């Protein structure tokens, strides 16, 4: 079968900029204001309220919305594609901003200038022999759909999403190799604003969200995802996947209660979502969770068949770190989307994310074992506040170490027998972080000269890790030939 592919990944609102371009409609990511990080839960920059939306529409002096500028990708797209080509990557993951194509989500006809812009980008990538993985949406929901329908909790969004997907497939189908309807489908559970466009209600006790809204939103996304796959398979030869954030939970000790909590945490935080999209039905254990939390998910006639008949061809996942479950609340650290218990065996970065290469091998085996479908690492790398030194040098040896250790474990998982389609280095050209909106939380092998408030030249400089990744990919390509 095909050699494993090595590539990179980005997301529209973290990379593009071009907020004023071609009458783009505001989307949820354009509303998120930069606030200096006070804790690693990043609640204030992730879980927006109605007041936050109003402020985004009428900003105060000094307000900065990083999603509107990203890392000025659109201003540097030709140069960035040259870097990708120089690296020799096989595949590149991008997302399209829905509100560029349909500013309010409900226009009769799509925005032709925006379509042409994305068409040019896809053509340029293909002309370099780079395969395309398209996320139809990556957190960026047209704001008008939040204000008019309350976001994904309204079933109306399914048809509007299909209308958007149909245009993308008609116009770009020939360029697409892999299509995934939603980024990290489990985000809706932790980050309901990013995942589902649900506003946090400050007057509500607890998280500020009604679980019935969250699970209605998730159900609508599951149905939308399956319907997009049904439509896409009629129109394209691409492979269709699902994708979730992988948390790789460990029990804090061999205390059975720690193991029980780990089992339950992994079910509700991770397996539930890929069970629906990759296995095609709601898993048994959610019945108890819905009963215990008084949640009623409305299934319309045909819903169960749509899910069963349109499952994902492959299971993508983002992997950054592992997490710990302790039955007794213990010392907390942080991780992608969730706050987790500290693992005494692991080192962490300044955001408290714990570095665990072996967890990558464990996760690849567990996901492959569960679905017997090819897996794909759709996000990996590590956030560091890289320093631009004299002569525009960035000595990110720590990132080379992280990547090298994770590549070793990926190869061990493949030796275990796991079928892995690709590895995509997250934020391969530096972008704005999704959780904290920080430019200084850098993942890439290409540095972008900008700070957290949008100041800087936005010039690109190759980091030390650029050469490492370029040489690694070359070796990978030669090994297969020999
Ligand atoms: C995932 C998102 C990505 C990416 C990643 C890293 O949840 O799919 O958009 O940003 O997290 O997290 P952060 O950017 O917050 O460091």
Pocket test for ligand 1, best of 13, 273, 426, 428 (most atoms within 8 A of CB): 426
Atom of ligand 1 nearest to the CA of 320: 6
pLDDT single digits (tens) 166-212: 999 999 999 999 999 999 999 999 899 999 999 999 999 888 999 99
416-445 residue pLDDT tens: 999 999 999 999 999 999 999 999 999 999
Q: Which of 318, 355, 384 has the most ligand 1 atoms within 8 A of CB, as the residue to mutate?
A: 318
- Ramachandran category for residue 327: left, alpha or beta (phi over 0 → left; psi -120 to 50 → alpha): alpha
Is there an atom of ligand 1 within 6 Å of 441 CB?
A: yes
Question: CA-to-CA distance for 221 and 189, rounded, in angstroms?
Answer: 12
pLDDT of residue 327: 87
What DSSP element (H or E) covers 468?
helix 464-481
pLDDT at 331: 63
Choose the residue to mutate in 433, 437, 443, 448 for probing ligand 1, maximizing ligand atoms within 8 Å of C-beta. Answer: 433
Closest CA to ligand 1's atom 16: 433
Q: What average pLDDT does the structure give for the chain?
A: 96
CA of 412 to the centre of ligand 1 (A): 25
- Sequential DSSP letters for 99-156: HHHSTTS--SS--HHHHHHHHHHHHHHHHTT-EEEEEEESS--BHHHHHHH-GGGSTH
As a whole number of angstroms, the distance between CA 39 and CA 16 comes to 27
- 421, with CB counted inside 10 A (0-12, 13-18, 19+), is buried
Ligand 1 pocket check for 26: Cβ under 6 Å: no
Distance CA 445, CA 87 (A): 10
Residue 481: pLDDT band by 50, 70, 90 thresholds? Answer: low
pLDDT interval class at 49 (50, 70, 90): very high
Neighbours of 365 (CB within 10 A): 16
Compute the distance from residue 381 Cα to the ligand 1 centre, in Å.
10
> Is residue 403 within 6 Å of ligand 1 at its C-beta?
no
Distance from Cα 343 to the centre of ligand 1, integer Å: 21
Question: Can you give the pLDDT at residue 338?
Answer: 61
pLDDT on residue 365: 98
Share of the chain above pLDDT 90, in %: 90
């Amino acid at each position: 079968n095909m050699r494993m592919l090595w590539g990179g990944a980005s997301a529209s609102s973290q990379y593009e900029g071009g907020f004023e371009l071609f009458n783009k409609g505001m989307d949820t990511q354009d509303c998120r204001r930069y606030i200096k990080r006070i804790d690693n839960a990043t609640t204030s920059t992730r879980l927006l309220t109605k007041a936050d939306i109003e402020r985004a529409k009428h900003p105060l002096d000094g307000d900065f919305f990083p999603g509107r500028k990203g890392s000025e990708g659109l201003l540097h797209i030709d140069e960035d594609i040259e870097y990708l080509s120089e690296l020799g990557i096989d595949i590149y993951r991008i997302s399209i901003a829905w509100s560029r194509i349909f500013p309010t989500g409900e226009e009769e006809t799509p925005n032709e200038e925006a379509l042409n812009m994305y068409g040019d980008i896809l053509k340029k990538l293909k002309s370099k022999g780079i395969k395309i993985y398209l996320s139809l949406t990556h957190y960026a929901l047209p704001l008008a759909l939040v204000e008019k329908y309350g976001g994904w909790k309204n079933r109306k969004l399914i048809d509007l999403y299909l209308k958007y997907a149909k245009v993308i497939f008609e116009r770009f189908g020939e360029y697409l190799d892999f299509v995934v309807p939603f980024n990290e489908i489990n985000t809706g559970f932790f980050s309901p604003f990013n995942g589902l466009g649900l506003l946090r209600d400050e007057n509500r006790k607890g998280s500020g969200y009604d679980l019935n809204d969250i699970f209605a939103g998730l159900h609508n996304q599951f149905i939308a995802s399956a319907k997009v796959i049904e439509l896409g398979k009629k129109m394209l030869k691409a492979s269709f996947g699902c994708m979730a954030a992988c948390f790789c939970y460990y029990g804090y000790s061999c205390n059975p209660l720690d193991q029980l909590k780990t089992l339950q945490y992994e079910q509700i935080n991770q397996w539930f979502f890929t069970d629906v999209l990759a296995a095609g039905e709601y898993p048994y254990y959610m019945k108890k969770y819905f009963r215990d939390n008084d949640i009623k998910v409305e299934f319309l006639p045909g819903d169960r068949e749509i899910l069963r008949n349109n499952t994902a061809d492959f299971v993508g996942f983002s992997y950054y770190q592992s997490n710990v479950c302790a039955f007794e609340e213990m010392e907390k650290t942080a991780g992608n989307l969730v706050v987790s218990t500290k693992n005494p065996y692991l080192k962490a970065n300044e955001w408290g994310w714990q570095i665990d290469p072996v967890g990558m091998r464990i996760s690849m085996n567990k996901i492959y074992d569960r679905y017997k479908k090819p897996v794909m690492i759709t996000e990996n790398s590590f956030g560091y506040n890289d320093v631009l030194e004299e002569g525009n040098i960035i000595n990110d040896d720590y990132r080379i170490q992280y990547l090298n250790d994770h590549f070793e474990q990926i190869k061990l998982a493949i030796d275990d027998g796991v079928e892995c389609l690709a590895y995509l280095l997250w934020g391969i050209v530096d972008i704005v972080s999704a959780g904290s909106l920080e430019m200084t939380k850098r993942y890439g092998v290409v540095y972008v000269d900008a700070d957290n408030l949008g100041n800087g030249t936005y010039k690109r400089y190759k980091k030390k890790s650029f050469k490492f990744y370029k040489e690694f990919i070359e070796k990978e390509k030669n090994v297969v030939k020999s």
